[in-house]
Amino acid sequence: MRRRISALALTAALAGGALFAALPAQTATAAPTATCKPAEMRNDISALRSKAQKLKRLGEPEAARRANAQADALQRKLDACVNSERNSSKRWS
């Protein structure tokens, strides 16, 4: 009798674990894809570059360097996004 109850409890626990393990995989496939907004990113890059120039004129080279680094990082992200969109539209031959 004890073995039957423990076997049933174990079976129920394993079935519940399999059910909960399957739920995140289903929700992950329904997630929306990320899209880049090139115009918005270019505006942000331009704003960061002008901020860096202003900081440099005000005598804050370290803050200017950080602003330029942020602009460079955003530029790399934009380039990667544009390249991925360009390459994903090509047909496989």
pLDDT digits (tens, 9 = 90+) for 4-52: 777 767 677 777 765 455 555 544 444 445 678 999 999 999 999 999 9
Q: Provide the CA 87 distance to its chain's centre, in angstroms.
A: 19
Both tokens assigned to 82: 């544009």
Single-letter amino acid, residue 65: R
Both tokens assigned to 30: 């329904």
3-state DSSP percent of the chain in helix, strand and coil, to 5: 80, 0, 20
DSSP 89: T
User: How far is it between the farthest Cα atoms of the chain?
Assistant: 84
Both tokens assigned to 39: 């115009």
pLDDT class of 1 with cuts at 50, 70, 90: low
Mean pLDDT of 50-63: 97
- pTM equals 0.59
